[in-house]
């Protein structure tokens, strides 16, 4: 019987999962990938095989039923036992958004670590409690299954101190109010993968453009700066998040417009970004096909901010050897890549239009001073790799 590693990414209303073989290959081999969505209201379950073909689906839970993280995990484990009898899950690796200042690498979970990570919930209130709920639930359902936490912040712990500090009083900085950075599992995956494409590259900016979006400056495989800071709301505008914004706006809205904390949180995380600007959709595909001028303007703002941060990250790196696009928009939208790169002639960047339309991997022209790549990210694979390493 083959051994497998279960990867879990638990959110407020969904649990995404994948199973990888626990073999020795550098890149763990995917067996299945699935998700349970609509936990709070209308659950649906779907699984695909390694080739991306749907192999199972269930939508008919009694209408209006709500599943807890525990019930959803129990269903997933039962499904794996029943349908994947040839693979025995020997460990679970979790995506955990925040590792704070202490956790700079993946860690085996025990009662002490779980308690530590729960203390960090206020730093990531929209994600951490759900990550931890799944960990606790799984510890009850399968107490003997080793569990590992893999952090979105860990890859950024190598950033120089000046990149981590806000200009705040020392006491606040020392108590943990500082820039952490997120999407670290994605950046780490790209940092591992990039030498396959371009072994000579030292200074690279990776643009992880998905419904959550950020950019990272990587030197010699290590993060030195990123656009997300204390929370996942900083930096680029995203599907529904503002991105970086003058904090004075928040004060003004609270003092003069009657916003309370909950209303501010909803505004910053759920009602803004591409959705707020366009009034049409949070999905880049909708905006690119819409005839609404506000949709076009939302795309303009997104592209402009990517350009602006690229300049900042290039300065942090003292120059640039490669630019990489990844995640939903970065991997799938030639138009956005084209709009960004067409304004980078000052850097000597020139696109190969055909390669860009075809999705790369190299999309820059041969005479481009700096190569541009499209590299699909794979956070689940990174989690499986860490889990394997921690257990060995
Ligand atoms: P996340 O993992 O943060 O939920 P993804 O990385 O899956 O997000 O990216 C999802 C986003 O990618 C979608 O909201 C959509 O805007 C964008 N996207 C996917 N395919 C395309 C495409 N062909 N063109 C433009 N945008 C796309």
Kindly state the greatest CA–CA separation across the chain: 65
What distance, in Å, lies between the first and last C-alpha atoms of the chain? 19
Atom number, ligand 1, closest to the C-alpha of residue 212: 3
pLDDT band at 5 (very low <50, low <70, confident <90, very high): very high
Q: Look up the CATH superfamily of 2-151.
A: ATPase, nucleotide binding domain (3.30.420.40)
The mean pLDDT of 44-71, rounded to a whole number, is 90
Mean pLDDT of the chain: 96
Dihedral over Cα of 128, 129, 130, 131: its sign: positive
Distance 237 CA to ligand 1 centre (A): 14
Return the pLDDT at 346: 96
Return the pLDDT at 63: 67
Q: Is the CB of 211 under 6 A from ligand 1?
A: yes
The mean pLDDT of 161-165, rounded to a whole number, is 98
One fold for 2-151 and 199-379 = yes
Give backbone dihedrals phi and psi of 106, rounded to 5 degrees, phi first: -65, 150
Atom number, ligand 1, closest to the C-alpha of residue 209: 6
Crossing angle of the two packed helices 69-83 and 128-141, in degrees rounded to 10: 50
- The order of strands in the sheet holding 147-151 is 54-58, 44-49, 30-37, 15-21, 2-10, 87-96, 147-151, 107-108
How far apart, in whole angstroms, are the C-alpha atoms of residue 8 and residue 380?
A: 8
Among candidates 322, 48, 301, 99, which has minimal Cα distance to 196?
322
* Catalytic sites, residue numbers: 152
Q: Is the CB of 328 under 6 A from ligand 1?
A: yes
Return the pLDDT at 85: 84
pLDDT digits (tens, 9 = 90+) for 87-143: 999 999 999 999 999 999 999 999 999 999 999 999 898 899 999 999 999 999 999
pLDDT band at 66 (very low <50, low <70, confident <90, very high): confident
How far apart, in whole angstroms, are the C-alpha atoms of residue 316 and residue 225?
A: 7
pLDDT of 152 over the 70 cut: yes
In the chain, domain spans: 2-151, 199-379
pLDDT digits (tens, 9 = 90+) for 242-277: 999 999 999 999 999 999 999 999 999 999 999 999
In the DSSP assignment, the letter for residue 214 is: E
pLDDT band at 41 (very low <50, low <70, confident <90, very high): confident
Q: Look up the CATH superfamily of 199-379.
A: ATPase, nucleotide binding domain (3.30.420.40)
- How many alpha carbons fall within 13 Å on the CB side of residue 375? 27
Known binding residue 140? Answer is no
pLDDT of 330 over the 70 cut: yes
pLDDT digits (tens, 9 = 90+) for 212-243: 999 999 999 999 999 999 999 999 999 999 99
The mean pLDDT of 314-321, rounded to a whole number, is 98
Known binding residue 212? Answer is yes
């Amino acid at each position: 019987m083959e051994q497998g590693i279960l990867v879990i990414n638990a959110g407020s209303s969904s649990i995404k999962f994948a199973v990888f073989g626990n073999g020795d290959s550098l890149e763990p081999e995917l067996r299945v990938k699935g998700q349970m969505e609509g936990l709070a209201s209308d659950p649906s379950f779907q699984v695909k095989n390694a080739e991306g073909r749907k192999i199972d689906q269930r939508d008919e839970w009694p209408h209006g039923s709500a599943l807890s993280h525990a019930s959803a995990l129990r269903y997933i484990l039962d499904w794996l036992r029943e349908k994947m009898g040839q693979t025995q899950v020997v460990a679970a690796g979790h995506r955990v958004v925040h590792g704070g200042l202490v956790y700079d690498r993946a860690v085996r979970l025990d009662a002490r670590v779980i308690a530590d990570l729960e203390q960090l919930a206020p730093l990531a209130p929209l994600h951490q409690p759900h990550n931890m709920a799944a960990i606790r639930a799984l510890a009850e359902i399968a107490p003997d299954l080793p569990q590992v936490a893999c952090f979105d912040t860990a890859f950024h712990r190598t950033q120089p101190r000046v990149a981590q500090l806000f200009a705040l009083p020392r006491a606040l900085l020392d108590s943990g109010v500082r820039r952490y950075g997120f999407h670290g599992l994605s950046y780490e995956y790209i940092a591992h993968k990039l030498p396959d494409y371009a072994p000579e590259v030292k200074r690279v900016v990776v643009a992880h453009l998905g419904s959550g979006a950020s950019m990272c400056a990587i030197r010699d495989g290590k993060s030195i700066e990123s656009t997300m800071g204390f929370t996942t709301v900083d930096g680029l505008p995203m599907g529904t998040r503002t991105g970086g914004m003058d904090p004075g706006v928040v004060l003004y809205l609270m003092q003069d417009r009657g916003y309370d904390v909950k209303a501010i949180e909803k505004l910053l995380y759920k009602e803004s970004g591409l959705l707020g600007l366009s009034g049409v959709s949070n999905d880049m595909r909708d905006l690119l096909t819409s005839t609404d001028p506000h949709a076009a303007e939302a795309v303009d703002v997104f592209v402009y901010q990517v350009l602006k941060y690229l300049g900042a990250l290039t300065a942090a790196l003292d120059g640039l050897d490669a630019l990489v696009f990844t995640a939903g928009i970065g991997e799938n939208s030639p138009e956005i890549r084209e709009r960004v790169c067409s304004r980078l002639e000052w850097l000597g960047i020139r696109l190969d239009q055909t390669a860009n339309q075809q999705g790369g991997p190299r999309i820059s022209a041969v005479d481009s001073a700096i190569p541009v790549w499209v590299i699909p990210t794979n956070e689940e694979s990174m989690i499986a790799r860490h889990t394997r390493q921690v257990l060995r």
